């Protein structure tokens, strides 16, 4: 009930003033109600702020999801692809290469090397695997931690900068039509793929 609006109505105001003399207790109650309405103009439930914040976060998340689903348009018109090999490889030879999904536990730049990154990898065996890769020109080590990559794990160990590298990480490489520069993309796969999963 909005007492202030009621008091502005002529007939109601007349009765209130009349009640002041004839019904002092009722008038006192009306005055108290008017005071309370000024003191507490609006009342919110205890959970209303939480519900509003939750709704705001939900709308924000939906907007982010919509932005994330917008596909980036990539121009491949300037890409130069190396010709495919004409020589064939029999299946038995191909099967000798052990391709595995590996998780990057740690990645650091190799001291005194401009190209090499040292990867500490989980290959599913329970023993950390170290692989060195010359891709520092394309990636910073910290951005690769936590990624799931593809490695050939049965290559013979090879020492580089005094560090033994056990395997090779796979990358996609191409040139550009108007440049001699090389583009490189380290193969990263879905993080739902477990460490040690074999590729066929």
pLDDT of residue 73: 87
- Domain for residue 194, yes or no? no
Same domain, 50 and 85: no
Same domain, 129 and 59: no
Same domain, 30 and 127: no
- The DSSP letter of residue 70 is S
Same domain, 117 and 145: yes
Cα–Cα dist 168/21, whole Å: 99
pLDDT in tens, 25-72: 555 665 665 566 555 555 555 555 556 555 555 555 555 555 555 678
Q: Residue 179: pLDDT band by 50, 70, 90 thresholds? A: confident
In the numeric block, the tokens 């002092």 are attached to: 24
- Domain for residue 198, yes or no? no
Q: Is residue 141 within 8 Å of residue 184, measured between CB atoms?
A: no
Residue that finishes a domain, picked among 70, 94, 110: 70
- Domain for residue 154, yes or no? yes
pTM of the predicted protein model: 0.64
- The DSSP letter of residue 23 is -
Tell me which residue range forms the domain holding 66. Answer: 1-70
- Domain for residue 116, yes or no? yes
Same domain, 142 and 103: yes
Same domain, 179 and 154: yes
- Domain for residue 13, yes or no? yes
Please state which of the ranges 82-86, 142-146, 156-160, 164-168 shows the lowest mean pLDDT.
82-86
pLDDT in tens, 91-116: 999 999 999 999 999 999 999 999 99
In the numeric block, the tokens 């170290």 are attached to: 130
Beta strands in the chain (DSSP E): 79-80, 99-109, 117-122, 129-133, 148-152, 158-160, 163-165, 168-169, 171-176, 179-186, 188-189
Same domain, 23 and 106: no
Cα–Cα dist 12/8, whole Å: 8
pLDDT of residue 19: 47
- Domain for residue 102, yes or no? yes
Section 162-184 average pLDDT: 94
Same domain, 131 and 41: no
- Residue 93 belongs to a domain with what CATH number? 2.40.50.140
Residue that finishes a domain, picked among 17, 45, 70: 70
Same domain, 171 and 137: yes
Q: Residue 21: pLDDT band by 50, 70, 90 thresholds? A: very low
Same domain, 45 and 108: no
Domain count, the chain: 2
pLDDT of residue 72: 82
- Domain for residue 199, yes or no? no
pLDDT in tens, 106-162: 999 999 999 999 999 999 999 999 999 999 999 999 999 999 999 999 999 999 999
Residue that finishes a domain, picked among 18, 48, 70: 70
Both tokens assigned to 150 = 């593809």
Same domain, 116 and 183: yes
pLDDT of residue 107: 98
Same domain, 87 and 66: no
- Domain for residue 197, yes or no? no
């Amino acid at each position: 009930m909005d007492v202030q609006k009621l008091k502005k109505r002529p007939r109601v105001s007349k009765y209130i003033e009349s009640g002041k003399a004839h019904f002092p207790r009722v008038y006192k109650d009306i005055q108290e109600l008017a005071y309370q309405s000024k003191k507490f103009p609006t009342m919110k439930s205890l959970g209303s702020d939480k519900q509003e914040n939750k709704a705001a976060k939900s709308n924000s998340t939906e907007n982010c999801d919509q932005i994330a689903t917008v596909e980036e348009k990539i121009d491949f018109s300037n890409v130069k692809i190396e010709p495919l090999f004409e020589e064939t490889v029999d299946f038995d030879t191909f099967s000798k290469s052990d391709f595995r999904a590996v998780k990057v536990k740690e990645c650091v730049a190799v001291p005194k090397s401009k190209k090499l990154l040292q990867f500490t990898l989980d290959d599913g065996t329970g023993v950390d695997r170290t692989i060195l890769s010359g891709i520092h020109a394309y990636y910073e080590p910290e951005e690769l931690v936590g990624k799931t990559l593809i490695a050939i794990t049965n290559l013979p160990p090879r020492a580089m900068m005094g560090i033994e590298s056990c395997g090779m990480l796979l990358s996609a490489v191409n040139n550009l039509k108007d440049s001699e520069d090389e583009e490189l993309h380290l193969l990263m796969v879905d993080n739902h793929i477990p460490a040690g999963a074999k590729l066929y």
